[in-house]
Amino acid sequence: MPGIASWVERSVRAAGEWNLNGMSTLLVIFLVLGATGLFLALPGTRGGWRPVGMALLVAAGILLVFVLADFALGRELPIWFGGCALVALFAATRVITHTKPVYSALYFVLLIVAVTGLLLLMSAEFLAAALVIVYAGAILVTYLFVIMLAQQARLAPYDARAREPFVGCVAGFVLLAIIAAQLLVAPSGVGAEPTVEEAAGTVEAVGTLLLTDYIIAIQLAGLLLLAGMVGAIAIARRQAADSTPQNGGVD
């Protein structure tokens, strides 16, 4: 067994050192694996191939998290990071491959929780709490609400089959390739150990930054939200008049 392990390690190392225009072969393998797996796993007519697609995706995820990151960063990732990242990848894949919308929304919640774990590992506690409160607590509950209200007895055609899975997979993974290649050719920005001090993610630090350096951004965000709210109220009022004309549109 040690012989096989060292052989695998040697070939992986050789593959990692062979660069293709700044893009590691391992990265190419990951991208091809991922794209093929996702294409097969997306809901469509290829019924029997979906488990194969999921298996390919799992392999791609393990490759990404444990092998590729090892090469790109030059150090081993903490086990907690690997676990959270794998859960997040799995959940993200299931969000787009599951045929039932409710399950998709639930996997999105799982994704949020896993990303929260990643943020906590970087001691960005405020961001983690805000992510859970805003996404898992408000936005996804509303999604779930809408999905449940719009549910149908049988699977809707647009849920049962992905639209243009091939084009979508190719486009997505080409984008991913560009981003990942940039990360690999600029390892100084990624590979360095995080040097932020302990207090950077606390409520006090984030709040002070938001109200000093980023005051214009936060005011603009507030304005945008206000405009959105006014717009939503305007739209909702007219809808009420259309649907219930007999009692004067009282909502």
Partner 1 sequence: MKSILYDKTTQAIENTLRNPLVLIVAALVLGAAALVPLWMLFPYYRWLLSDPFWFPIIVMGVMLKVILTSTAVCILAERKLASFTQDRHGPNRVGFWGLLQPMADGLKFFLKEDITPANVDKPIFMLAPVLALITALIGFAIIPWAGDVHWPWMPEGEVVRTQVASLNIGILYMLAVGSLGVYGIVLGGYASNNKYSFFGGMRATAQMISYELPLGLALLSVLLVSGTVRPELIVDTQATTGMWYVFYQPIAFFIVLVCTFAEANRTPFDLAEAEQELVGGFHTEYSSMKFAMFFLGEYAHIVTGSAIMVALFFGGWHCWGLTSAADTSWIGMLIKLNVYFAKVAAFVLFFMLIRWTIPRFRFDQLMRICWLGLVPLGIALLAGTAILVALGWQHNLWASLGMNLVLLVLTLIYTARSTVPVTGRQTDLPEIQVRPA
Q: Which is nearer to partner 1, 38 or 128 (CB)?
A: 128
Q: Which is nearer to partner 1, 4 or 199 (CB)?
A: 199
- Within 192-211, the residues that bind partner 1 by CB under 8 A are 202-203
Among 117, 168, 172, 249, the residue binding partner 1 under the rule CB under 8 A is 249
DSSP alpha helices (H): ranges in 138-214? 140-149, 157-160, 165-185, 187-191, 203-212
Stretch that binds partner 1, among 46-54, 164-172, 210-218, 235-243 (CB under 8 A): 235-243
Residue 251 near partner 1 by CB under 8 A = yes
Among 1, 5, 149, 150, the residue binding partner 1 under the rule CB under 8 A is 149
Q: Is 29 exposed, middle or buried (0-12, 13-18, 19+ CB in 10 A)?
A: middle
Among 43, 38, 44, residue whose Cα is nearest residue 61: 38
Q: Is 70 exposed, middle or buried (0-12, 13-18, 19+ CB in 10 A)?
A: middle
Stretch that binds partner 1, among 2-10, 185-193, 209-217, 232-240 (CB under 8 A): 232-240
Stretch that binds partner 1, among 22-30, 33-41, 52-60, 143-151 (CB under 8 A): 143-151
Q: Which is nearer to partner 1, 163 or 237 (CB)?
A: 237
Q: Beta strands of the chain (E only): which ranges?
A: 19-20, 23-24
Among 21, 75, 20, 30, residue whose Cα is nearest residue 191: 75
Among 43, 36, 87, residue whose Cα is nearest residue 60: 36
Q: Which residues of the shown chain bind partner 1 in the complex (CB under 8 A)?
A: 102-103, 106, 109, 125-126, 128-130, 132-133, 136-138, 141-142, 144-145, 148-149, 202-203, 237-238, 240-242, 248-251
